Amino acid sequence: MPNNEEFGILVHSFEKSRNKRIAIHVQEFKGSTFLSLREFYLKDDEWRPSLKGFTIRPELYPELLHGVITAAEALGVDPPEV
């Protein structure tokens, strides 16, 4: 998984399918920090970013987390232990 200046600091990634992964990066752009969630795909033995993903400002992170927790409850999925 890419972990360089272009994508920022890789904080977590997980397999979506055999040749696709979801990656979460913390990155800086023009002096501001963002959280980036993006799908990567494997091509020629190299992980490449797809157009599928989004970036949010840190102050929106609580809303994103709330939505993910609410979705987990609706799906009946237990949150992972951290």
In a domain? residue 56: yes
* pLDDT confidence band for 3 (50 / 70 / 90): low
In a domain? residue 40: yes
| Model pLDDT for residues 14-65, shown as the tens digit of each residue | 999 999 999 999 999 899 999 999 999 999 999 999 999 999 999 999 999 9
Position with higher pLDDT, 38 vs 82? 38
CATH number at residue 43: 2.30.31.10
**pLDDT at residue 80 in the model:** 75
Q: What CA–CA distance (Å, rounded) separates 34 from 76?
A: 30
Q: How far is CA 42 from CA 29, 39, 50, 69, 82, in A?
A: 25, 10, 10, 29, 28
Q: Give the chain's domain count.
A: 1
Domain coverage including residue 27: 9-75
Specify the pTM. 0.84
